[in-house]
Amino acid sequence: MAKRSRPGTPWQGGWYLPARRMHSPNHGPRPAGAVIDLIVVHSISLPPGQYGGTAVQQLFTNRLDWDAHPYFQSIRGLEVSAHFFIARDGRLWQFVDADRRAWHAGRSHYRGRDACNDDSIGVELEGLEGQAFEEPQYRSLTRLCAALARRYPIGYIAGHEHIAPHRKNDPGPGFEWQRLRSAFAGSGILFPP
């Protein structure tokens, strides 16, 4: 359940004001009674391993030119989104109101519950599974997670690999989980083992 924004907070409803807003049509209502208590960290780059373009933003807004790169044919017609995307330089975009359900997790199970899209916030980092992420991304992610934890009853932060372990591998071994664990030490937020 979302909280109302107070004057002076960095939120306008479920929109985080420090993020660049870019609306995705790929979202829906959360189920009645859903408690938003999970942040899911993903990684994405389009084409894989290429950074700095706008293909991810185009994918999340259903405007990707499927003929612009041979790889795009393998994902042609995909309608997905995440709430947030963090570029290599730490720039932050938001595509879906955090009070709504983005389409980022797919078939998933975590903390004893299925369908993690129902009660999670999806954050995509520009990167490739197994490769390192950049310092500005960790700073932006930490600030975002802290802001989310002030607005929602966040109890867990996990990777896509943890909520869909036989299907997904992101963000992968290049992601330094200890950075987030240290930033949220004593907060009560639980991380994957």
Decide: 106 and 164 in contact? Cβ < 8 Å: yes
Q: Which among 79, 124, 135, 161 is annotated as catalytic?
A: 124
Q: What is the mean pLDDT of residues 96-114?
A: 97
- Note whether residue 6 is domain-resident: no
Report if residue 171 sits inside a domain.
yes
CA distance 154 to 149: 5
Q: What is the pLDDT confidence band of residue 78, given thresholds at 50, 70 and 90?
A: very high
Let me know if 88 is exposed, middle or buried by CB neighbors in 10 A (0-12, 13-18, 19+). Answer: middle
pLDDT at 1: 52
CA separation for the pair 189, 149 (Å, rounded): 9
Cβ atoms of 132 and 50 within 8 Å: the answer is no
pTM, full prediction? 0.95
Q: Which helix (H) or strand (E) holds 146?
A: helix 135-151
User: What percent of the chain has pLDDT above 70?
Assistant: 96
At residue 136, does pLDDT exceed 70? yes
What pLDDT does 3 receive?
52
Structure tokens, 55: 């293909």
Residue 135 among the catalytic residues: no
Taking the CB of residue 109, how many other CB atoms lie within 10 A of it? 14
The pLDDT tens digits of the residues spanning 18-69 come to 999 999 999 999 999 999 999 999 999 999 999 999 999 999 999 999 999 9
CATH number of domain containing 51:
3.40.80.10
Residue 2 lies in a domain: no
Asked whether residue 5 carries a pLDDT value surpassing 90, the answer given is no
Averaged pLDDT score across all residues of the chain: 95
When divided into structural domains, the chain yields a total of 1
Establish if 5 belongs to a structural domain: no
* 38 domain-assigned: yes
Confidence label for 9 from pLDDT (cuts 50, 70 and 90): confident
Domain housing 89: 11-183
- Residue 90 inside a domain? The answer is yes
Residue 188 lies in a domain: no
Residue 40's H or E segment, with its range, is strand 38-44
What pLDDT does 7 receive? 52
pLDDT at 149: 98
On whether residue 114 sits in a domain, the answer given is: yes
Enter the tokens of residue 186: 């004593």
Over residues 164-182, the pLDDT tens digits come to 999 999 999 999 999 999 9
